[in-house]
Amino acid sequence: MNPLYLNVSFAACLLAAVFYAGSLFFKNKSFAFLARLSALAGVIGLPLYIGVRWHIAQRPPLSNMFESLVVFAWAILIAVIITDLKYKIKSVTLCGAFMAVIALGYASLLNKEIVPLLPALKSNWLTIHVLTCFVGYAAFTVSFVASIVYLVQVKFTAQANANVEKLDSLSYNMIAFGFLFLTLGIITGAVWANSAWGTYWSWDPKETWSLISWFVYAIYLHVRHTKGWRGAKAAWLSVLGYLSVLFTYFGVNYLLSGLHSYG
């Protein structure tokens, strides 16, 4: 299929990252406007590509690593725009846009062939399960970026300032939001598994690592509310949670075999 929308979206993501960098380093409002415009172009272009691929394949384009990375990049871009409008932390939006660039860049290296769905994937639960998971993953991506920026700023800044407090708040809010959608993703995945394989839970590697990720973020929320964890300790736990998410997404697919090996 024609990759026009995908290529335009990749260029838009790259321009967004460049303009966010310009906005961050040169404090220029024109760069900030162009960054948002570029990110919006990517947010519009990616679903157009997804829609065309859906039409050609006659199925939701969510069944392999290439297709999921496109959806992941789209979700990240949406999260970046929302973060920019609400928090206006250019270092986070710059890194977030760059994460979308990485996702699309990696996707461009993968096999883009449209193949029929495996029987187990022919379910409406596919769309619900994958989308809820990737909304959560996108929120965790922003939280991870905010945590890394927080740790760097604290390391190289003599004293805490209002920005690090805002970074801590952003990381928490994104984790709380992402945790809700990760929970929904696990629940919908369990329902789908029961309809496809006759069991809600089989301790498949993907299921197991999803649960591990869920527990890490559950611990984050628990210690934040009950122990008052803020700052660096919370940031490191956020980083740990995202590393678990990355292994769930990439590591399980490439290193472990199971019911999700088709991913």
pLDDT digits over 202-222, tens only?
Answer: 888 999 999 999 999 999 999
Residue recorded with tokens 């939006």: 93
What integer is the mean pLDDT of 240-250? 96
Percent pLDDT > 90 in the chain is 73
pLDDT tens, residue by residue, 10-33: 999 999 999 999 999 998 889 999
In the 3-class helix/strand/coil scheme, how is 164-232 assigned residue by residue?
Answer: HHHHHHHHHHHHHHHHHHHHHHHHHHHHHHHHHHCCCCCCCHHHHHHHHHHHHHHHHHHHHHHCCCCHH
- Tell me the CATH number for domain 1-113: 1.20.120
What integer is the mean pLDDT of 81-102? 95
What integer is the mean pLDDT of 167-189? 97
What integer is the mean pLDDT of 69-91? 96
Per-domain boundaries in the chain: 1-113, 118-263
